[in-house]
């Protein structure tokens, strides 16, 4: 049995990022850039107005000016602005040749064909040619995960088909003769399959990764057959304890995978198996949904992040604990379901009433996991792994 | 001009959640539940084993037992376990009639047709009938946003077509004669349209909301024509300052919208317009991409959250500031692009080198906005709005 830290290191060591491919900006959302993106020219090209107002020559002084035209964004003015003249200009418009200063329209008074500009300030309200980027300037580095802002930067420089690390593809097998489809009424002894729904949503929550799922009986040949896949990551639910009906690791060995670990000092989730075969990775997860949830966030997610080329992330924070009496230091590393919330500008965390059984209902509302180990302090704080977007931190409480 | 707080209240007052519809679990991911979900029966049904081991009668005492059969998950045993007998049992399996205790296999020794169970502990390793939920127990409340765990709960109780608030539909118009498609080379005076890419990704980042976009020239009739939509939210980029070429608010009035505000004490983003018509809402956003980004996170997002029925979220935290010299208290409420990071279990925030111009490049890597107003403290802390999932808090730095 190895520690979670050692298990995570083995995942980092054995899962490689997929090779970069060029995709459209829509498909690039959430993906990691596989190349640097640089400026394709000067930004801005030419001097541009920062304001709606009037443009005059750089050597002009306050006074009256003859109105000599209008420049709007999109125009390419060729006539220069002459001494004693001003042109109406709008935000983003290119300055005419010899134009060197914009005066805000709030400072202007028009009268017939004349405009009177009373005061010139220090600010010329010009975005100068090349002031934001020169050709070749690196704007977004290889290895950056592309969010909305980075995609806008790529659009601005015309990089509409960037090379990115493609989304890893996940194939899931739910083993267990007792499972029925969630839409079916379980017969005696049977239960509905919840892990497929759980894993599909957890994987989708990482940025819409492709996911397929299939139920297979507790039968080694059937599992081996179903586990043939070209997916980047194979997830097998159930079949991970020492029971006679556990076939996950056996099937992986039979398919040529190398097992890197099969037990982790992790509660819940001890009988967690990790294996690779070439560029493919596989996990066998203990069957209960709470174990699935914890194994996903502490181990499986890391493999997906590695395959997707994401920067390593492990957003663990020391937070004040509401209800610290629920948590006792424990020699077995435990990741306890919890709910983090923001109140008065401060994050704190409340453990869920969870009792290591496979009790999915108690997990509802979980957006964090608290680490409990032999070094857990008794000072009312807990090291907390945040799982969800910040928006959920201020949701109203769940039942 | 109104405060951002007053503007947000007007949005809350005027945007209503869409009516609930029944959808499949896949489509329910990220949506808000429009009805309570209750248990459809007892959970678990019957007493179930928590371990791989041996089941004996509740009144049995340690000793040797005759092996009388095997029960696996999915079986519906009808033969009782008799005095002096034990049955092999696996995790999740239903106990046979009269079975009252499971002994872990680690405590058992098999010899021929006999099993010797040396010690009975306090724990009977049984998940008792109905111990997790009784029929009618509320498991997920109306108003809850459905994450992976809540979807798994719905799967478990067979609620495969829950009634949810559907995703609001967004229609976007980018105005400006200077705009060309990101895949085109801009001619003199022209620039590439970045706001369409930015808004599409920001909207998608809220959970894959449907989004359409179209570029229109600076022309009132063309804008009015393009703004005819049945979408829940209409976003118009540009056309929001006081310049002569600004048609956004005019077009909305012509289409029968009521304008609730058209200027907010917000930097960047002052000339922000909000309007509604029946159950439709509309914003006109100032043209520069930094303003778009700030207006989206402080105002537009709130309208989408309201339309989607999301619980209100405003995840603002007091964080330690790295580089506090960059921030001076300001009478104009400013939301300053910044990057929050986790280090040694603690969140802190670094302002981006941003000057209020429309400089998209400087935004790369932004995952937070810092509030700067006249009450901003000078003690090295800043009230910070978190924008992105926790994973980005520990990404490697962007250029």
Are A172 and A189 contained in the same domain? yes
In angstroms, rounded to a whole number, what is the distance separating the alpha carbons of residues A322 and A349?
6
Structure tokens, A375: 């070094």
Are A14 and A34 contained in the same domain? no
For A297, residues 6+ apart whose C-beta sits below 8 A from its C-beta are A202, A335, A369, A385, A387
Nearest C-alpha in A relative to B155: A182
Nearest C-alpha in A relative to B77: A189
Of A98, A127, A156, which marks where a domain is finished?
A: A127
Confidence check on the interface: ipTM exceeds 0.95, yes or no: no
Phi, psi (rounded to 5 degrees) for B280: -100, 145
Are B107 and B223 contained in the same domain? no
CATH code for the domain in which residue A237 is found? 3.40.980.10
Start-to-end CA distance of chain A, whole Å, equals 37
Instruction: Report the DSSP beta bridge partners of residue A273.
Output: A284
Tokens 């005019």 -> residue? B250
Q: Which of B195, B200, B315 sits opposite A391 (nearest CB)?
A: B315
**Cα Rg of chain A, angstroms:** 30
pLDDT score for A398: 32
Burial state string for B298-333 with b = 16 or more CB within 10 A and e = fewer than 16? bbbbbbbbbbbbbbebebbbbbebbebebbeeeeeb
Answer yes or no: is B92 within a domain.
Answer: yes
pLDDT score for A241: 59
User: Is A153–B364 a contact, with Cβ atoms under 8 angstroms apart?
Assistant: yes
Nearest C-alpha in A relative to B197: A152
Of A307, A334, A359, which marks where a domain is finished?
A: A307
Chain A residues with CB-CB distance to B73 below 8 A: 176-178, 189, 191, 245
In angstroms, rounded to a whole number, what is the distance separating the alpha carbons of residues B281 and B259?
10
Instruction: Report the DSSP beta bridge partners of residue A346.
Output: A343
Q: Which of B143, B157, B189 sits opposite A74 (nearest CB)?
A: B189
B179-207: pLDDT as tens digits: 999 999 999 989 999 999 999 999 999 88
Are A160 and A181 contained in the same domain? no
CATH code for the domain in which residue A157 is found? 3.90.105.10
Instruction: Report the DSSP beta bridge partners of residue A237.
Output: A174, A285
CA of A278 vs chain B CAs: smallest distance (Å): 27
Q: Which of A147, A315, A394 sits opposite B201 (nearest CB)?
A: A147
Chain A residues with CB-CB distance to B245 below 8 A: 72-73, 90
Chain A residues with CB-CB distance to B394 below 8 A: 311-315
Which of B364, B375, B394 should be substituted to probe chain A, the one whose Cβ sees the most A Cβ atoms within 10 Å? B364
User: Is B398–A144 a contact, with Cβ atoms under 8 angstroms apart?
Assistant: yes
Answer yes or no: is A295 within a domain.
Answer: yes
Which of B44, B188, B243 should be substituted to probe chain A, the one whose Cβ sees the most A Cβ atoms within 10 Å? B243
* Domain enclosing residue A95, as ranges: 48-127
In angstroms, rounded to a whole number, what is the distance separating the alpha carbons of residues A29 and A165?
11
Answer yes or no: is B43 within a domain.
Answer: no
Are A225 and A298 contained in the same domain? yes
For B122, residues 6+ apart whose C-beta sits below 8 A from its C-beta are none
Angle between helices B195-204 and A148-156 (to 10 degrees): 160
User: Is A149–B364 a contact, with Cβ atoms under 8 angstroms apart?
Assistant: yes
- Total of domains in chain B: 4
**pLDDT score of B397 more than 70:** no
Average pLDDT score over residue span B22-38: 96
Instruction: List C-alpha distances in Å: A244 to A219, A226, A229, A247, B62.
Output: 11, 20, 25, 8, 24
Which of A147, A160, A244, A246 should be substituted to probe chain B, the one whose Cβ sees the most B Cβ atoms within 10 Å? A147
Nearest C-alpha in A relative to B301: A391
User: Is B184–A158 a contact, with Cβ atoms under 8 angstroms apart?
Assistant: yes
Q: Going by DSSP bridges, is the β-strand pair A179-180/A191-192 parallel, antiparallel, or unpaired?
A: parallel
Query: How is A296-310 classified by DSSP, letter by letter?
Result: IIIIIHHHHHHHTTP
User: Is A318–B44 a contact, with Cβ atoms under 8 angstroms apart?
Assistant: no
Chain A residues with CB-CB distance to B205 below 8 A: 29, 147-148
Of B273, B307, B341, which marks where a domain is finished?
A: B307
User: Is B182–A93 a contact, with Cβ atoms under 8 angstroms apart?
Assistant: no
Give me the count of residues in chain B.
399
Chain B residues with CB-CB distance to A359 below 8 A: 132
CA geometry: angle at B95 spanning B94 and B101, to 5°?
Answer: 135
CA of B190 vs chain A CAs: smallest distance (Å): 5
Q: Are B98 and B78 in contact (CB under 8 A)?
A: no
For B396, residues 6+ apart whose C-beta sits below 8 A from its C-beta are A143, A311, A312
Answer yes or no: is A43 within a domain.
Answer: no
Chain B residues with CB-CB distance to A345 below 8 A: 316-318, 383
Chain B residues with CB-CB distance to A76 below 8 A: 187-189
3-state secondary structure of B385: strand
Q: Are B271 and B286 in contact (CB under 8 A)?
A: yes
- How many H helices and E strands in chain A? 8, 26
- pLDDT tens, N- to C-terminus, chain A (399 residues): 999 999 999 999 999 999 999 999 999 999 999 999 999 999 999 999 988 899 999 999 999 999 999 998 889 999 999 999 999 998 889 999 998 999 999 899 999 899 999 999 899 999 999 999 999 999 999 999 999 999 999 999 999 999 999 999 999 999 988 899 999 999 998 999 999 999 999 999 988 789 999 999 888 999 999 999 999 999 999 865 556 567 899 999 999 999 999 999 999 988 899 999 999 999 999 988 999 999 999 999 999 999 999 988 899 999 999 875 667 888 889 999 999 999 899 999 999 887 656 678 989 999 999 999 999 988 899 999 999 888 778 754 332
In angstroms, rounded to a whole number, what is the distance separating the alpha carbons of residues B20 and A74?
45
pLDDT score for B256: 98
Structure tokens, B98: 């009269």
Are A385 and A358 contained in the same domain? yes
Answer yes or no: is B132 within a domain.
Answer: no
Are A261 and A329 contained in the same domain? no
Answer yes or no: is B328 within a domain.
Answer: yes
Are B192 and B296 contained in the same domain? yes
In angstroms, rounded to a whole number, what is the distance separating the alpha carbons of residues A5 and B109?
35
Chain A residues with CB-CB distance to B347 below 8 A: 317, 347
Q: Which of B149, B242, B312 sits opposite A198 (nearest CB)?
A: B149
Average pLDDT score over residue span B235-256: 82
pTM tops 0.90: yes
Chain B residues with CB-CB distance to A241 below 8 A: 52, 91
B123-161: pLDDT as tens digits: 999 999 999 999 999 999 999 999 999 999 999 999 999
pLDDT band at residue B96 using 50, 70 and 90 as cut-offs: very high
Burial state string for A184-217 with b = 16 or more CB within 10 A and e = fewer than 16? eebeebbbbbbbbbbbbbbbbbbbebebebebbb
3-state secondary structure of A90: coil
In angstroms, rounded to a whole number, what is the distance separating the alpha carbons of residues B316 and B302?
14
Chain B residues with CB-CB distance to A245 below 8 A: 72-73, 90
CA of B90 vs chain A CAs: smallest distance (Å): 7
Are A90 and A116 contained in the same domain? yes
Nearest C-alpha in B relative to A147: B201
pLDDT score for B241: 58
Are B84 and B123 contained in the same domain? yes
Q: Which of A185, A346, A365 sits opposite B317 (nearest CB)?
A: A346
Are A25 and A10 contained in the same domain? no
Answer yes or no: is B135 within a domain.
Answer: no
Which of A24, A73, A179 should be substituted to probe chain B, the one whose Cβ sees the most B Cβ atoms within 10 Å? A73
Nearest C-alpha in B relative to A160: B183
CA of A171 vs chain B CAs: smallest distance (Å): 16
Structure tokens, A346: 């401060």
Nearest to A357 by CA among B134, B132, B348, B47: B132
Nearest C-alpha in B relative to A134: B361
For B172, residues 6+ apart whose C-beta sits below 8 A from its C-beta are B196, B199, B200, B211, B212, B213, B214, B234, B235, B236, B237
The count of C-alpha atoms lying within 13 angstroms of the C-alpha of B59, restricted to the half-sphere facing its C-beta, is 3
- How many H helices and E strands in chain B? 8, 26
pLDDT band at residue B222 using 50, 70 and 90 as cut-offs: very high
Query: How is A230-299 classified by DSSP, letter by letter?
Result: --SEEEEES--SSSTT--HHHHHHHTTPEEEES-BS-BS--S-EEEEETTEEEEEE-SSHHHHHHHIIII
Q: Which of A91, A92, A189 sits opposite B74 (nearest CB)?
A: A189
Mean of per-residue pLDDT scores for chain B: 91
Are A155 and A120 contained in the same domain? no
Q: Are A110 and A92 in contact (CB under 8 A)?
A: no
Side by side, the strands of the sheet bearing B63-71 are B99-104, B53-57, B85-89, B63-71, B114-117, B108-111
Which of B202, B218, B361 should be substituted to probe chain A, the one whose Cβ sees the most A Cβ atoms within 10 Å? B361
User: Is A153–B361 a contact, with Cβ atoms under 8 angstroms apart?
Assistant: yes
User: Is A148–B293 a contact, with Cβ atoms under 8 angstroms apart?
Assistant: yes
In angstroms, rounded to a whole number, what is the distance separating the alpha carbons of residues B43 and B176?
60
Q: Which of A90, A140, A361 sits opposite B364 (nearest CB)?
A: A140
Nearest to B356 by CA among A240, A51, A243: A51
DSSP structural state of residue B264: B
- Average the pLDDT over each of B200-204, B278-282, B317-321, B352-356 and give the range with the smallest value: B352-356
Answer yes or no: is B134 within a domain.
Answer: no
For B246, residues 6+ apart whose C-beta sits below 8 A from its C-beta are B238, B239, B240
User: Is B310–A202 a contact, with Cβ atoms under 8 angstroms apart?
Assistant: no
More confident of the two residues A53 and B245: A53
Q: Which of B242, B317, B394 sits opposite A314 (nearest CB)?
A: B394
Tally C-beta pairs within 8 A across A and B.
348
In angstroms, rounded to a whole number, what is the distance separating the alpha carbons of residues B105 and A385?
34
User: Is B399–A140 a contact, with Cβ atoms under 8 angstroms apart?
Assistant: yes
3-state secondary structure of B249: helix
For B265, residues 6+ apart whose C-beta sits below 8 A from its C-beta are B1, B2, B3, B4, B332, B333
User: Is A195–B152 a contact, with Cβ atoms under 8 angstroms apart?
Assistant: yes
User: Is A200–B26 a contact, with Cβ atoms under 8 angstroms apart?
Assistant: yes
Q: Are A345 and A395 in contact (CB under 8 A)?
A: no
User: Is A152–B198 a contact, with Cβ atoms under 8 angstroms apart?
Assistant: yes
Chain B residues with CB-CB distance to A393 below 8 A: 313, 315, 386
Which of A263, A291, A354, A361 should be substituted to probe chain B, the one whose Cβ sees the most B Cβ atoms within 10 Å? A361
Q: Are B197 and A155 in contact (CB under 8 A)?
A: yes
Q: Are B139 and B38 in contact (CB under 8 A)?
A: yes
CATH code for the domain in which residue A74 is found? 2.170.190.11
CATH code for the domain in which residue A347 is found? 2.40.340
In angstroms, rounded to a whole number, what is the distance separating the alpha carbons of residues A315 and B301?
24
């Amino acid at each position: 049995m190895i520690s979670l830290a050692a298990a995570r290191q083995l995942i980092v060591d054995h899962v490689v990022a997929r090779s970069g491919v060029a995709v459209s900006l829509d498909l690039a959302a959430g993906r990691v850039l596989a190349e640097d993106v640089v400026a394709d020219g000067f930004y801005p090209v030419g001097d541009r107005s920062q304001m709606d107002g009037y443009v005059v020559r750089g050597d002009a002084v306050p006074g009256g000016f003859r109105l000599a035209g209008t420049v709007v964004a999109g125009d390419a003015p060729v006539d220069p602005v002459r001494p004693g003249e001003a042109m109406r200009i709008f935000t983003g418009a290119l300055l005419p040749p010899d134009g060197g200063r914009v005066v805000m329209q709030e400072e202007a008074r028009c009268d017939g064909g004349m405009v009177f500009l009373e005061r010139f300030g220090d600010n010329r309200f010009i975005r100068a040619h090349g002031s934001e980027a020169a050709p070749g300037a690196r704007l977004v580095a290889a290895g950056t995960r592309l969010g909305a802002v980075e995609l806008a930067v790529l659009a601005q420089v015309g990089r509409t088909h960037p090379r990115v690390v493609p989304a890893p593809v996940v194939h899931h097998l739910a083993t267990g003769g007792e499972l029925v489809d969630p839409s079916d009424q379980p017969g005696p002894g049977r239960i509905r399959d919840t892990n497929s729904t759980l894993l599909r949503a957890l994987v989708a929550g990482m940025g819409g990764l492709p996911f397929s799922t299939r139920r297979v009986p507790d039968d080694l040949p059937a599992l081996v057959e179903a586990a043939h896949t070209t997916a980047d990551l194979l997830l097998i639910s159930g079949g991970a304890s020492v029971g006679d009906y556990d076939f996950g690791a056996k099937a992986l060995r039979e398919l040529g995978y190398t097992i890197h670990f099969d037990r982790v000092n992790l509660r819940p989730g001890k009988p967690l198996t990790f294996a690779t075969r070439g560029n493919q990775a596989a996990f066998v997860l203990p069957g209960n949904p709470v174990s699935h949830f914890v194994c996903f966030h502490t181990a499986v997610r890391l493999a997906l992040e590695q395959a997707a080329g994401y920067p390593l992330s492990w957003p663990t924070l020391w937070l004040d604990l509401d209800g610290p009496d629920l948590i006792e230091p424990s020699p077995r590393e435990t990741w306890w379901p919890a709910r983090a919330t923001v109140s008065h500008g401060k994050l704190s965390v409340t453990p869920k009433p969870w009792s290591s059984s496979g009790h999915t209902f108690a997990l509802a509302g979980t957006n964090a996991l608290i680490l409990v180990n032999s070094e857990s302090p008794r000072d009312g704080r807990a090291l907390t792994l945040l799982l969800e977007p910040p928006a959920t931190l201020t949701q109203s409480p769940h039942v």
